[in-house]
Amino acid sequence: MRTGVIGLGTMGWHHARVYSELDESTLVAVADVDSEVGLKAAEKYSATYYRDYREMLAKEALDAVSIAVPTSLHKAVALDCIAEKVPMLIEKPIAGTLEDGNEIIAKAGSAGIPIMIGHIERFNPAVQKLKALIAENALDRITSIVARRVGIYPSRIKDANVIVDIAVHDIDICNFLLGRLPDSVHANAGKALNSERIDYATLFMDYGDTEIFIQVNWITPVKIRELNITGIKGYGELNFLTQSLKLYESQYETTYDSFNDYVIKFGTPNIREIDVKTAEPLKLELQQFLVSLKNDTAMPVPAQEGLAALKIALRAIESYETRTICKL
């Protein structure tokens, strides 16, 4: 399939690299307003460079394109792709506002143009394994999930805060793992090192019988990407960076003491290192995107699910600003 990339920042560059490596793809064009970066990528990956992505869309017969521009530009670029009838993968979040996201979805739907949202962590092999274990009822009912996504401030971020930029990853992962959306969100946040935008936050999401705690920031000097999950039958530890997954299977029995009081006695848990075949999540993501287009099947991350993650992130910001619990 003939592919292109619009926007050659950190993620866009990796999209170009992966498209050039996949058997399912021939990278034919890249676009970026920075001609130095664009020409370098075009030369490295044997593609044609365009400073204006609209010229690329008009001249190249593209089967698919990745949109990796700043979030504030997602709507304009997506609508131009729809006008040229080019299917697209939009890097998360789908847009900067719900109104923009809804407009993208509505116009793509009317034109019959497939859209996928780039929630890359869904394709992390450890996440896929955990999803399978949950489907097998290995943990029984999930009571809580705790996620931490912290590290230093990324210089590439110019128009987003820590909730929209990185908490949205874990919001989407929790929706994905649980197969449903939360009832409400409550957030605390602030501006520690950056006076212009939120750079640390904690989110509490209520899924009815499951509670979620998410910690994100751009102020911790070490990069941490972890998720811990507790169920009635056990506890799991997932590391997004190492793609490792450890499961602690509960060993307990219920008895009564001499006064007939109910007692639960815990034994030593059975610890399982889950076998995870490591792979690059972006490569798996783009491969599935192209295969879905080729086979005319549903997108692995539908636009509506990307919109749902954005809505929760925006409601979390509203919760912080109003000091209230926001219903969803």
pLDDT digits (tens, 9 = 90+) for 201-226: 999 999 999 999 999 999 999 999 99
Tell me the per-residue pLDDT of 45-74, one tens digit each, with 9 for 90 and over.
999 999 999 999 999 999 999 999 999 999
For the cut 80, the answer to whether the pLDDT of residue 195 exceeds it is no
pLDDT tops 60 at residue 86: yes
Q: Which of 37, 39, 51 is nearest to 8 (CA)?
A: 37
The pLDDT > 90 percentage for the chain reads 89
Instruction: Say whether pLDDT at 256 is over 70.
Output: no
- Please tell me the predicted confidence (pLDDT) of residue 189: 96
- What's the CATH class of domain 2-113? alpha beta
Written as six digits, the tokens of 165 are 């930029």
- C-beta separation of 8 from 34 below 8 A: yes
* Residue with the two structure tokens 């050659």: 8
Mean pLDDT of 142-170: 90
- In the chain, the amino acid numbered 317 is I
Between CA 182 and CA 175 the distance in angstroms is 8
Question: Could you check whether 2-113 and 124-282+309-327 share the same CATH topology?
Answer: no
Q: Where are the domains of the chain?
A: 2-113, 124-282+309-327
The pLDDT assigned to 160 comes to 79
| Residue at token pair 């972006």 | 282
Edge-to-edge strands, sheet with 88-91: 48-50, 26-31, 2-6, 64-67, 88-91, 115-118
The Cα-based distances of 281 to 39, 119, 146, 167, 172 in angstroms read 26, 10, 22, 18, 15
**What pLDDT score was predicted for residue 278?**
97
The pLDDT value recorded for residue 156 is 66
pLDDT of residue 252: 65
Per-residue pLDDT, 269: 75
Query: What is the predicted pLDDT for the residue at 157?
Result: 63
Q: What is the mean pLDDT of the chain?
A: 94
Q: Is a pLDDT exceeding 80 seen at residue 249? A: yes
Q: What is the C-alpha R_g of the chain?
A: 22
Q: What is the DSSP letter of 3?
A: E
How confident is the model over 189-195, as a mean pLDDT? 88
Q: DSSP for 179-226?
A: TS--SEEEEEEE-SS-SSS--EEEEEEE-SS-EEEEEEESEEEEEEEE
Tell me what pLDDT residue 107 has: 98
Q: Does domain 124-282+309-327 have CATH number 3.30.360.10?
A: yes
**Model pLDDT, residue 270:** 86
- Residue 153: the pLDDT is 84
Mean pLDDT for the stretch of residues 273-288: 97
Q: Is the pLDDT of residue 297 over 90?
A: yes
